[in-house]
Structure 1
Amino acid sequence: MSHFDTVSLAPADPILSLTEAFKADPNPDKINLSVGVFVDQSGVTPILDTVKEAEKRMLESSTSKSYLPMTGTPAYASLTQKLCFGEELAAQLQGRVASLQTPGGTGALRVAADFIAKNLETKTVWVSNPTWANHKGIFAAPGLKVETYNYFNSATLSLDYCGFLESLEAIPAGDVVVLHGCCHNPTGADLTLEQWEDVARIAASKKWIPLIDFAYQGFGDGIEEDAAAARIVAKAGLPAFVCQSFSKNLGLYQDRVGALHVVTDDASNYANVVSQLKISVRVNYSNPPAHGGAIVTTILSDEKLTEQWHAELAAMRERIASVRTQFVDALKAAGVERDFSFLTQQKGMFSFTGLNKEQAVALREKHSVYIVDSGRINVAGITDDNIDRVVAAIKAVL
């Protein structure tokens, strides 16, 4: 008998396990469209020039590897607040928004989940149907109940806005509603400015709490445009959580850099909220890693570096938009009868293709093209070198 005989085999992660299968595939022409990383035209996930310059400066100026505060540095908190809410609104929120550096956007979500489970009256969190595969696990981990609201019409492969609003109207007061700030993962179907105003109005009327997962700022329409959700909610005076990530827009995947902003509806609650966030951090990872946060701080505190980063981010965004158009055109030129034009209306790296699980499995097993069973693809993984093979494989499984 072993003390570990009671341990059962956990199910494989639906996305990361595909990366493992991809690496083990001996086919030299294999293509990975499952994992959510940006790649350039050559198929490489690049280190941005601004990041290299920031690291060069850090190497020359660093004097210590001592611990950071539990919440990260004040400079990081201030700069990420301004990026998220804009300078004017961030100034207005002073004394009401608690911000901390976290290990990636996932770390921000988990700290938020722990805080909600321990401190709020509600024990229910609502996520979109569909949503990022890790959302349910993150919020269930501290004992929260996870429910779903309507979001996407799988028949039309577009936003089900009427169903979405009906769901929001029915959510009980006090519950937490997870909303994708931009570049909805996995569908790529986003809300308009007017629709975000509707969301804020319903949240205020029904008194539920928005939690905005903000992982792709700058990958949709632009840095300022993509921040509309967080800014509209904050301007409405609503309590809210915003979970920010710099994995995608600064390419800091392995550095795990994120931020959690908790907007209180009453400044008198600020100190209590900060104290409880610190406890959540302390029992989880104690304090955040310094390197990635220092990169973000270095770039955002230098006007020229920030301007250069904006240009690099715009190039990434434009590449994704261009790939969408090329992909749709290539499918049509190849004689694929199904209409994929909806792909050009979606934003960010991800899209639902409408392919079913059997077709996704066939793509992997017969063509070494790796996509998630739901039919979600990472559009950024398509390059000039592999687009013809991707199109031929999809045509074959259809």
Structure 2
Amino acid sequence: MLTNLKEQPKDKILGLMAQYREDPRATKVDLGVGVYKNAEGITPVMRAVKAAERKLVAEQETKAYTGLAGDPAYSSAMCDLLLADSADRARIAAAATPGGTGAVRQAFELVKQMSPNARVFVSDPTWPNHVSILGYLGIEVVKYRYFDGETRGVNFDGMMEDLAGATADDVILLHGCCHNPTGANLNLTQWQSVIDLILAKGCLPMIDIAYQGFGDGLEEDAAPTRLVASQVPELLIAASCSKNFGIYRERTGLLIAMGADAANTPVVQGNLNHLNRQNFSFPPDHGARVVTTILTDPELKADWMAELEETRLGMLELRQKLADELQRLSGSDRFGFLAQHRGMFSLLGTTPDLVEKMRVDNAIYMVGDSRMNIAGLNENTIPMLAQAIIDAGV
């Protein structure tokens, strides 16, 4: 039967990583892989994470399974971080997942279970795995306009026109902050307009939030999600701890399902537990316990927040320096959007041909749609990238 299998499409980012490794040029710059790196090109283990792990080694007495939904203390700590007091906790069910991707997958599985004919509206562009998973599950994808190729900001009018086609059976997928891949975000006034549309249409919002703390700050980045949670009757949230805790390989995520009626929460929770059981049984625990340890220890939490803020400000500084250098070289402010975007990524807004030209001529590696990882830059590579962009005629 194995001979009946068909070759699957190659992952473009993994292919790009392989090309980068094989490139012998000492000046090569990796802006493709979606992982935070410091100025030395290392993804560091955060101080609070190391301290929490030492504490766990000293105090943990068992590696037995947790519950199907993971440790309740983890869900509670994450709900505090994401939602604060914006939602009635009695209406919330939650389950730990293998990373943010696992939370997205479980959310889509839940959608299919709740409404087999549901369509999911996704931004154009969006994180490729959104569309890939939806396609695998056989859920119809409807794209809504999001990125404005001229301004490199949000095409809000186009977005609202497209979302107006949603019905009560549909799901609208939104990025909580630091939109991937564009880096362009809605402001709170625009978020309120989206909420008003959701309420009018009766559809289900789903928020994918993977970069809380990487944009404008922990509280500021959570504000849109909290605004939605405070007003809508139902909400799905897929959260990731990979980036803001730097625990990529620990695969630490959470799916939150908020219902309209607290009396139905046990049923919702039971369905989340059931989905976990079918897909991977018990979720991984080490990363979740590290996160819980940090968020429930005042000293560790303060140190984590301080280091996360250093990371955030460092990325903003890289953005500003790149925009400034491009302004110097080009004599125009057409690249000012790079300083306005938030998070790890920006969409340069150019063609795959010019992206390839920068790779061939300058050893600049970014995804073909021109998404670049700002965190892959440093003081030495900013001038190299800026010159490559100008030379390529972007």
TM-score over 0.5 (shorter chain): yes
Aligned to 2:4, what secondary structure does the other structure show?
coil
CA distance in 2, matches of 1:140, 1:96: 30
> Is 2:296 the partner of 1:308?
no
Matching residue's letter, 1:156: T
Q: TM-score, normalised by structure 1?
A: 0.95
Aligned to 1:57, what secondary structure does the other structure show?
helix
Task: Give, in angstroms, the shift of residue 266 of structure 1.
Answer: 1.5
CA distance in 2, matches of 1:335, 1:166: 35
CA contact (8 A) 1:336 1:395 kept: no
CA distance in 2, matches of 1:376, 1:47: 25
Number of aligned residues? 393
Task: Give, in angstroms, the shift of residue 391 of structure 1.
Answer: 1.9
Matching residue's letter, 2:341: Q
| Counterpart pick for 2:339 among 328, 336, 344 | 344
| Counterpart pick for 2:272 among 256, 260, 277 | 277
Matching residue's letter, 2:69: T
Name 2:18's counterpart in structure 1: 20
CA contact (8 A) 2:121 2:142 kept: yes
CA distance in 2, matches of 1:267, 1:79: 20
CA contact (8 A) 1:186 1:351 kept: yes
Give CA-to-partner distance per residue, 1:130-175, whole Å, 9 cap, x none: 1111110122222211111111111221111111111222211120
Give CA-to-partner distance per residue, 1:84-115, whole Å, 9 cap, x none: 101x335xx22211011111110000011111
CA contact (8 A) 1:51 1:250 kept: yes
Give CA-to-partner distance per residue, 1:328-351, whole Å, 9 cap, x none: 111222347672111111111111
Name 1:233's counterpart in structure 2: 228
Name 2:151's counterpart in structure 1: 156
| Counterpart pick for 2:100 among 90, 101, 105 | 105
| Counterpart pick for 1:168 among 163, 166, 175 | 163
> Is 2:391 the partner of 1:396?
yes
CA contact (8 A) 1:217 1:227 kept: yes
Which piece of structure 1 moves more, 35-44 or 66-75?
A: 35-44
The 3 A distance-change label for structure 1 pair 60 and 7 is same
CA distance in 2, matches of 1:240, 1:122: 18
Name 1:382's counterpart in structure 2: 377
Name 1:180's counterpart in structure 2: 175
Q: TM-score, normalised by structure 2?
A: 0.96
The 3 A distance-change label for structure 1 pair 338 and 212 is same
Name 2:86's counterpart in structure 1: 89
CA distance in 1, matches of 2:200, 2:12: 37
Name 2:8's counterpart in structure 1: 10
Query: Superposition pairs for residues 256-271 of structure 1, below 5 Å?
Result: 256-271=251-266
CA distance in 2, matches of 1:122, 1:83: 33
CA contact (8 A) 2:121 2:163 kept: no
Give CA-to-partner distance per residue, 1:269-317, whole Å, 9 cap, x none: 2122111111211111111111100110000000111111111111111
Name 1:208's counterpart in structure 2: 203
Matching residue's letter, 1:89: S
Matching residue's letter, 2:162: S
| Counterpart pick for 2:109 among 91, 99, 114 | 114
Which piece of structure 1 moves more, 311-320 or 9-18?
A: 9-18
CA distance in 2, matches of 1:78, 1:4: 44
CA contact (8 A) 1:173 1:207 kept: yes
CA distance in 1, matches of 2:264, 2:232: 14
Task: Give, in angstroms, the shift of residue 181 of structure 1.
Answer: 0.4
Give CA-to-partner distance per residue, 1:219-270, whole Å, 9 cap, x none: 1111111112221111113201011111111111111111110010112321
Name 1:50's counterpart in structure 2: 48
Name 2:212's counterpart in structure 1: 217
Aligned to 2:123, what secondary structure does the other structure show?
strand
Task: Give, in angstroms, the shift of residue 121 of structure 1.
Answer: 4.9
CA distance in 1, matches of 2:7, 2:136: 17
Aligned to 1:167, what secondary structure does the other structure show?
helix
Aligned to 1:41, what secondary structure does the other structure show?
coil
Matching residue's letter, 2:153: S
CA distance in 2, matches of 1:225, 1:238: 23
CA distance in 2, matches of 1:156, 1:193: 19
Name 1:373's counterpart in structure 2: 368
CA contact (8 A) 2:322 2:383 kept: no
Matching residue's letter, 1:35: V
Task: Give, in angstroms, the shift of residue 123 of structure 1.
Answer: 2.4
Give CA-to-partner distance per residue, 1:7-65, whole Å, 9 cap, x none: 22211112222122212222222211011111112221111101111111011111111
Aligned to 2:86, what secondary structure does the other structure show?
helix
Name 2:186's counterpart in structure 1: 191
CA contact (8 A) 2:118 2:169 kept: no
Name 1:71's counterpart in structure 2: 69
What are structure 2's unaligned runs of at least 5 residues?
none
Task: Report the aligned-residue RMSD.
Answer: 1.4
CA distance in 2, matches of 1:123, 1:71: 25
The 3 A distance-change label for structure 1 pair 287 and 177 is same
| Counterpart pick for 1:331 among 326, 329, 342 | 326
CA distance in 1, matches of 2:224, 2:333: 33
